[in-house]
């Protein structure tokens, strides 16, 4: 009987020991973890007051808040056809920027942003999307005017500035949608003035503003602003082997924009003063040893036709050269751009005096510039 009691006591002792080990396994880590957390408690760091913003920061913020509601995001679509089903559907073609011109819903952007598009969608600052129609384009100046239907109260305008008074070193801001990232602002300075860039049609655009403000694909058509938040140009081109910003961007000056946009809204096209001729490319003039611009064709019912200017004629294997324009109002003409630049700054109705080389003779002929379609 003693043996039985002894065995019962040992069994009870073993159970008690097992229970103690189990409790130690469960409780010790919990107690140790709690003690560790209390001992090593980490609080969030307090915020250090920064003080007032710098004057240049306040300026940038003010410009952005004032002008960003006027900047729009432009998406263009084109039509494509499934080669199997023959179904026609729309696909995205490209994106760009633009800005509200007036309370009638006119939007200004670059021509290359909307070129060859079948549909144009404009997203306003608040996120509203609407279709846009093309009012008119000026490919030679890389400018296009669109029109949307929107409540007048939702349209905020940018003040018009003056690019003629700009100085190298002035602060400038660009707002646009680079790489589809809407409402993006970059800043820089006016790096140079009076640059000449080439439009998509090969025509020169004079007076371009060069800036080091970061301008990337998608910024095209967006505004370039001065430190007062005034429009001084349209961001239109970058100089970059990689296609991304390299610190050299160009903007069309606001004086050109104001004149061209007004004409497009009123007439739907640019009124182009001219004399009614086609001229040879510079490389052809150089190959022929011509110092000036060769007239290749004279169009009927134009000032050039009335003045009996001569065009170039091909007779069999013989090339009979036409008149060569060597000056306009006393200004020497060495290449095609010289002639384009003079006519760009003229108006319909102006009278010009052409210096013409005909054979070995130099003639001076007065012509009145007309609207050449």
Q: What structural domains and CATH numbers belong to the chain?
A: 64-154 (2.40.10.10), 159-267 (2.40.10.10), 273-371 (2.30.42.10)
Mean pLDDT value across residues 217-221: 89
| Model pLDDT, residue 244 | 60
349: how many CB neighbours lie within 10 A of its CB?
Answer: 10
Instruction: Judge whether 112 counts as a catalytic residue.
Output: yes
Decide if pLDDT at 85 tops 80: no
Find the catalytic residue in 117, 199, 220, 327. Answer: 220
Query: Which of 73-82, 190-199, 213-222, 227-236 is most confident?
Result: 227-236
pLDDT digits (tens, 9 = 90+) for 162-207: 999 999 999 999 999 988 788 899 999 999 999 988 888 888 888 9
**Worst-scoring range by mean pLDDT, 27-31, 169-173, 231-235, 320-324?**
27-31
Residue 117's alpha-carbon distances to 200, 218, 332, 336, in angstroms, are 16, 16, 41, 30
Dihedral in degrees, nearest 10, Cα atoms 255, 259, 261, 263:
180
Angle at 50 between CA 47 and CA 53, to 5 degrees: 145
What are φ and ψ of residue 228, in 5° steps?
Answer: -90, 0
| Model pLDDT, residue 2 | 41
Look-up of token digits 């404009």: 122
pLDDT level of residue 89 (50, 70, 90 thresholds)? very low
To the question of pTM greater than 0.95 for the whole model, the response is: no
CA distance 355 to 306: 16
pLDDT more than 90, % of the chain: 60
DSSP secondary structure string for all residues of 42-106: -PPPPPPP--SPPHHHHHHHHHHHHHGGGEEEEEEEEEEE-TTT--EEEEEEEEEEEEE-STT-E
pLDDT digits (tens, 9 = 90+) for 123-146: 998 888 999 999 999 999 999 999
| Model pLDDT, residue 245 | 60
Assess contact for 119 and 91: CB atoms under 8 A: no
Find the catalytic residue in 112, 125, 140, 245. Answer: 112
Instruction: Judge whether 106 counts as a catalytic residue.
Output: no
Instruction: Judge whether 142 counts as a catalytic residue.
Output: yes
CA distance 206 to 357: 27
Its sign, for the CA torsion 84, 90, 96, 101, is: positive
| Model pLDDT, residue 21 | 56
Find the catalytic residue in 70, 106, 117, 142. Answer: 142
Q: Which residue has the higher pLDDT, 324 or 6?
A: 324
């Amino acid at each position: 009987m003693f043996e039985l009691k002894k065995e019962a006591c040992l069994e009870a002792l073993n159970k008690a020991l097992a229970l103690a080990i189990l409790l130690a396994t469960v409780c010790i880590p919990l107690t140790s973890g709690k003690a560790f957390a209390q001992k090593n408690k980490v609080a969030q760091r307090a915020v250090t007051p920064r003080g007032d913003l710098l004057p240049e920061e306040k300026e940038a913020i003010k410009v952005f808040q004032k002008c960003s509601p006027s900047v729009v995001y432009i998406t263009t679509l084109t039509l494509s056809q499934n080669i199997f089903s023959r179904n026609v559907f729309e696909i995205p073609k490209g994106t760009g920027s633009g800005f509200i011109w007036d309370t009638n819903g006119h939007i200004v952007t670059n021509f290359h942003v909307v070129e060859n598009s079948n549909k144009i969608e404009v997203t306003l600052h608040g996120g509203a999307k609407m279709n846009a129609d093309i009012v008119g384009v000026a490919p030679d100046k890389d400018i296009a005017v669109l029109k949307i239907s929107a409540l007048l109260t939702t349209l905020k305008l940018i003040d018009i500035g003056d690019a003629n008074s700009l100085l190298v070193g002035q602060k400038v801001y660009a707002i646009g949608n680079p790489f589809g990232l809407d409402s993006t602002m970059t800043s820089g300075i006016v790096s140079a003035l009076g640059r000449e860039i080439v439009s998509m049609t090969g025509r020169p655009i004079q007076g371009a503003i060069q800036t080091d403000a970061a301008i990337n694909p998608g910024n095209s058509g967006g505004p370039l602003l001065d430190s007062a938040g005034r429009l001084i140009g349209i961001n239109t081109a970058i100089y970059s082997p990689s296609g991304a910003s390299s610190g050299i961007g160009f903007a069309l000056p606001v004086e050109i924009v104001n004149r061209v946009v007004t004409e497009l809204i009123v007439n739907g096209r640019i009124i182009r003063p001219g004399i009614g001729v086609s001229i040879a490319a510079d490389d052809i003039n150089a190959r022929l040893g011509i110092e000036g611009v060769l007239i290749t064709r004279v169009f009927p019912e134009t000032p050039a036709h009335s003045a009996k200017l001569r065009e170039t004629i091909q007779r069999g294997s013989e090339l009979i050269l036409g008149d060569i324009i060597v000056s306009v109002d006393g200004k020497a003409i060495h290449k095609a751009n010289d002639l384009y630049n003079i006519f760009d700054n003229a108006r319909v109705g102006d009278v010009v005096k052409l210096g013409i080389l005909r054979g070995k003779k130099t003639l001076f002929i007065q012509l009145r510039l007309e609207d050449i379609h």
